[in-house]
Amino acid sequence: MYVPDEWEVPREKMTMCRELGQGSFGMVYEGIAKCVVKGDMETQVAIKTVNESASMRERIEFLNEASVMKEFNCHHVVRLLGVVSQGQPTLVIMELMTRGDLKSYLRSLRPDAENNPGQPPPTLKKMTQMAGEIADGMSYLNANKFVHRDLAARNCMVAEDYTVKIGDFGMTRDIYETDYYRKGGKGLLPVRWMSPESLKDGVFTTNSDVWSFGVVLWEIATLAEQPYQGMSNEQVLRFVMEGGLLERQESCPDSLFELMRLSWQYNPKMRPSFTEIIQSIKVDLEPCFKEVAYFYSEECKSRDQEEFDMETENMESVPLDPSSMLQHAASAADKHSGHKVENGPGIVLRGSFDERQPYTHMNGGRKNEKVLPLPQSTAC
């Protein structure tokens, strides 16, 4: 059952203007909504619909996926604005991201792209800005006990002012169906963005989201090339589980690749948290970032202090040399608390995930429940 709440919007306040593309459940439109944003008479929005042929169960699933986003209030996460659950078709109203998903936007910046907007490829400063914005959205989700499980350029969105935000999850799942792989008859898995522990054991944590973030950085640096180009999905599975990593491209700046490398530590507890990633690059971010970012909010500061107080008694150095990692892994695996160690200027490595903490996944579920399976898809 879906019970209408304060997010319900009268259907007569919605006007659909043009198609934006196909979503997981149905067509997505650009439209105009009246009085859905405080202080605005009319707001340009994205309107998600459900196919007319959808069953009641699919309509409820559609609304429940949207309901997860009711808990989010972060500048770098795409906002849910309202729901029309009464009558047909069922509608979900989202913040409009006029420049589309990040993967398509990056590909449009290739010199030979037919839809090139006349812009050069992103500079290091712009790539770093994208990284900071994505990390800020993910830091917010992590702080609210949400695990994304499908972080990729296709699932980030680009606003009119080029701000990058964590996208409306599930919206591009079927559009980019070739980015997913059906393993053993189960749901579709984004194997090229998955960490070794996720591939091996089906474990998804904020640390595995950090691994995926590293792959997103690689996508940004390569203008959205396919990760592990030339390898089959099965080959990628084996390669990553055995410790293989994406290669550095010649055009990739040193600082960006270093951030990727840190995100791809084989031991999940050795990866930096999203907050630590922002800490390491904050001096290179635009001044406006400080005005809107969760990282600089009072909520973030108070939460960081609470975590620091809890961890102070359990600090321990973590070896950064891969050759010594195996010796450390045995003892690290037995500890639930995180560890801190300096790794050059501005970078702090810490395992921020406590396996006993209940987490919610972006693509379904509620807080305080166990790990949920990835959603099924109609794509083959």
Instruction: List beta partners, residue 348.
Output: 342
Total domains present in the chain: 2
Catalytic residue numbers, as ranges: 150
The whole-number average pLDDT for the span 268-294 is 97
Q: Which of 95, 128, 146 is the last residue of a domain?
A: 95
Q: Are residues 297 and 153 in the same domain?
A: yes
Dist. CA 128–CA 125, nearest whole Å: 5
Cα-Cα end-to-end distance for the chain: 29
- Give a yes or no: residue 28 inside a domain: yes
Q: Are residues 41 and 120 in the same domain?
A: no
- Give a yes or no: residue 157 inside a domain: yes
Q: Are residues 89 and 185 in the same domain?
A: no
What is the value of pTM for the model shown? Answer: 0.80
| pLDDT greater than 90 at residue 296 | yes
- Give a yes or no: residue 342 inside a domain: no
pLDDT (0 to 100) of residue 65: 81
Q: Which of 95, 123, 148 is the last residue of a domain?
A: 95
CATH of the domain at 192: 1.10.510.10
- Digit-coded pLDDT (tens) for 178-193: 666 766 656 778 999 9
Q: Are residues 126 and 68 in the same domain?
A: no
pLDDT (0 to 100) of residue 307: 63
Structure tokens at 140: 């917010």
| pLDDT greater than 60 at residue 338 | no
- Give a yes or no: residue 379 inside a domain: no
- Digit-coded pLDDT (tens) for 72-115: 999 999 999 999 998 888 899 999 999 999 999 999 999 999 98
Question: What is the share, in percent, of the chain residues with pLDDT greater than 90?
Answer: 57
- Digit-coded pLDDT (tens) for 209-267: 999 999 999 999 999 999 999 999 999 999 999 999 999 998 899 999 999 999 999 99
Q: Which of 73, 95, 117 is the last residue of a domain?
A: 95
- Give a yes or no: residue 181 inside a domain: yes
- Give a yes or no: residue 369 inside a domain: no
Q: Are residues 114 and 140 in the same domain?
A: yes
Over the Cα atoms of the chain, what is R_g? 21
pLDDT (0 to 100) of residue 20: 87
Q: Which of 374, 376, 375, 365 is nearest to 146 (CA)?
A: 365
Q: Are residues 223 and 305 in the same domain?
A: yes
- Digit-coded pLDDT (tens) for 17-67: 999 887 778 889 999 999 898 888 899 999 999 888 888 888 888 888 888
- Give a yes or no: residue 325 inside a domain: no
* Whether the Cβ atoms of residue 134 and residue 213 lie closer than 8 Å to each other: yes
Tell me, what amino acid is at 154? R
Q: Which residue range forms the structural domain that includes residue 63?
A: 11-95
Q: Are residues 26 and 143 in the same domain?
A: no
Dist. CA 210–CA 41, nearest whole Å: 39
Q: Are residues 118 and 151 in the same domain?
A: yes
| pLDDT greater than 70 at residue 173 | no
The per-residue pLDDT of the chain, averaged, comes to: 80
Question: What is the share, in percent, of the chain residues with pLDDT greater than 70?
Answer: 75
pLDDT (0 to 100) of residue 186: 60
Q: At residue 349, what are phi and psi to the nearest 5 degrees?
A: -100, 130
- Give a yes or no: residue 66 inside a domain: yes
Q: Are residues 132 and 228 in the same domain?
A: yes
- The set of residues, in sequence order, having a beta carbon less than 8 Å from that of 63 and lying 6+ positions away, is 2, 83, 85, 90, 92
Strands 146-147 and 360-361: parallel
CATH of the domain at 61: 3.30.200.20
Q: Are residues 16 and 143 in the same domain?
A: no
Q: Are residues 163 and 254 in the same domain?
A: yes
